[in-house]
């Protein structure tokens, strides 16, 4: 019999790719999408019809414990990705991040405990580490959130670990570094650069150029999540998902321009620069644990992942609003 799993945040960037991959692997997928009056299922509206038709759509709000519990009934595993993720918006509306990211995770954990769910895959983020204190960040690195977003994700991580320790709840904490790929919001750095180039902008406007990031292609992340879910030894662990290499934002813009065969001027737009103490200067994943526990390492290098992302954005650029910087 097929295993039924719940994916929260299934209408989003990573969640939609994960839901597709799980269907292809033979899981029965219940997709938790954020209820709205347009009956929009986010990116699920645009995936392959056959896969879409095989999904069981559950409309709800992660902040509501009753709906969350209902969504989890009959599921063996829960992949919890629903969250508010934009850092700039978290400066303005931090309380909504507390309600969605912390309370939402608590709702999942509490229902999982009551329902006896066999595994909870909780989605963390490299942002909880803050600027790296050593060349590469392993899972023992200090936790030092530098934005309200990161603080709420760290709190959700600690709740998850506390439920594992207190109640033996079988949790796996996946900690992806910066993701990119088709369907990512235009607020993120890679789609920001590509969509501006595709719109014919003469000047590419971005934030700070010096931060270094470890960029992981979304298909690799999805494979890591499924690996974490399918491995018995992953339970109770935190697992970094990254590439163990970095690129500065300046160099990244250069690589994208080269791949797109354009040469544009870059301008730092001050609204896009994070407050000084909030800027995470360097993130580079130590992925020893992912290799050891779930036999995972990335399959895409940066150029391969960027080629795929650029090709997808060339076809789907019309789905993105014309570039205006607003949080």
Q: Tell me which residues touch ligand NAD (CB under 6 A).
A: 9, 11-15, 34, 42, 61-63, 81-85, 100, 123, 125, 153, 176, 178-179, 185
Q: Which residue is nearest to ligand NAD (CB)?
A: 12
Q: Which helix (H) or strand (E) holds 24?
A: helix 13-24
- State the number of CA atoms in the 13 A half-sphere of 99 facing the CB: 7
Measured distance CA(278)–CA(97) in Å, rounded: 16
Active-site option among 27, 97, 129, 149: 149
Active site residue 149: yes
Q: Shortest CA distance to 181 belongs to which of 306, 67, 274?
A: 306
Measured distance CA(215)–CA(179) in Å, rounded: 6
Q: How far is CA 279 from the centre of its chain?
A: 19
- Show the CA angle centred on residue 293, arms to residues 292 and 298, nearest 5°: 70
Instruction: Output 223 or 264, the one with its CB closest to ligand NAD.
Output: 223
Q: How far is the CB of 9 from ligand NAD (least distance, A)?
A: 3
Q: Shortest CA distance to 124 belongs to which of 43, 205, 242?
A: 242
Instruction: Output 201 or 278, the one with its CB closest to ligand NAD.
Output: 278
Token readout for 82 is 């629903």
| Phi and psi at residue 54, to the nearest 5° | -85, -10
Secondary structure E strands in the chain? 4-8, 28-34, 56-60, 77-80, 119-123, 171-176, 178-180, 203-206, 212-213, 215-217, 238-241, 247-248, 265-268
Question: Would you name the residues annotated as active-site residues?
Answer: 149
């Amino acid at each position: 019999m097929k295993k039924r799993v719940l994916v929260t945040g299934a209408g989003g960037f990573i969640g939609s790719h994960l839901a597709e991959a799980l269907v292809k692997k033979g899981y029965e997928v219940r997709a938790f999408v954020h209820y709205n009056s347009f009956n929009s299922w986010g990116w699920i509206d645009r995936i392959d019809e056959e896969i879409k038709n095989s999904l069981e759509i559950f409309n709800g709000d992660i902040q509501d414990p009753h709906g969350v519990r209902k969504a989890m009934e009959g599921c063996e595993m829960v992949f919890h990705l629903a969250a508010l993720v934009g850092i700039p918006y978290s400066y303005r509306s931090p309380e909504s991040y507390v309600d969605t990211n912390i309370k939402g995770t608590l709702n999942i954990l509490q229902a999982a405990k009551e329902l006896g769910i066999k595994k909870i895959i909780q989605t963390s983020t490299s942002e909880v580490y803050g600027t790296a204190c050593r060349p590469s960040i392993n899972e023992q690195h200090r936790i030092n959130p530098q934005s309200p977003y990161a603080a709420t994700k760290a709190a959700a991580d600690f709740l998850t670990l506390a439920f594992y320790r207190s109640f033996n709840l079988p949790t796996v904490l996946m900690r992806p570094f910066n993701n990119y790929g088709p369907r990512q919001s235009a607020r993120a750095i890679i789609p920001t650069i590509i969509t501006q180039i595709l719109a014919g902008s003469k000047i590419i406007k971005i934030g700070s150029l010096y931060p270094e990031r470890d960029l992981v292609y979304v298909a690799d992340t999805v494979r890591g999540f499924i690996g974490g879910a399918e491995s018995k030894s992953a339970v109770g662990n935190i697992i970094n998902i990254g590439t163990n290499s970095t690129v500065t934002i300046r160099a990244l813009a250069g690589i994208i321009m080269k791949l797109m065969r354009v040469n544009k001027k870059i301008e730092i737009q001050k609204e896009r620069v994070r407050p000084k103490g909030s800027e995470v200067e360097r993130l580079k994943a130590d992925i020893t644990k992912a290799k050891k526990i779930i036999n995972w390492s990335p399959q895409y290098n940066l150029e391969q992942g960027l080629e795929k992302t650029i090709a997808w954005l060339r076809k789907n650029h019309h789905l993105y609003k014309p570039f205006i910087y607003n949080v």
